[in-house]
Amino acid sequence: MASEFSPATMSFDALMHSLREAENDPAYRLREINRKLREATLRLKVANSRVQHGLVDLKFELMQFQQRHPGPDSKNPPTE
């Protein structure tokens, strides 16, 4: 049995009214806040992962540079 408020039979105005009522519902608002927090957390995890990969790349480049250009206190000549 189809509800009188099912999206298929609902007029546009009735649909908009029900959406406005849902937006004022505390449970709806909590779900939306939770969804936004999950999205923000995911974006932060992705950004953190990119930073970590960048640090690994920089450490690798630094090691390569140090091997090619030893400091003045090093007794090993540069290898090229």
In tens, the pLDDT along 3-51 reads 455 556 678 888 888 878 887 888 888 999 999 999 999 999 999 999 9
Q: Grade residue 1 by pLDDT with cuts at 50, 70 and 90.
A: very low
- pLDDT number for residue 75: 62
In a domain, 1, yes or no: no
Interatomic CA distance for residues 1 and 42, integer angstroms: 40
Token pair, residue 15, equals: 């649909």
Interatomic CA distance for residues 33 and 15, integer angstroms: 22
The answer to whether 2 and 9 have CB atoms below 8 angstroms apart is yes
Could you list the residue range(s) of the whole structural domain that residue 27 is in?
14-67
- pLDDT number for residue 28: 87
In a domain, 7, yes or no: no
> Taking the alpha carbons of 39, 40, 45, 46 in that order, is the dihedral positive or negative?
positive
Rg of the Cα trace of the chain?
Answer: 29
The answer on pLDDT for 78 being more than 60 is no
Q: Domain total for the chain?
A: 1
- pLDDT number for residue 14: 84
In a domain, 4, yes or no: no
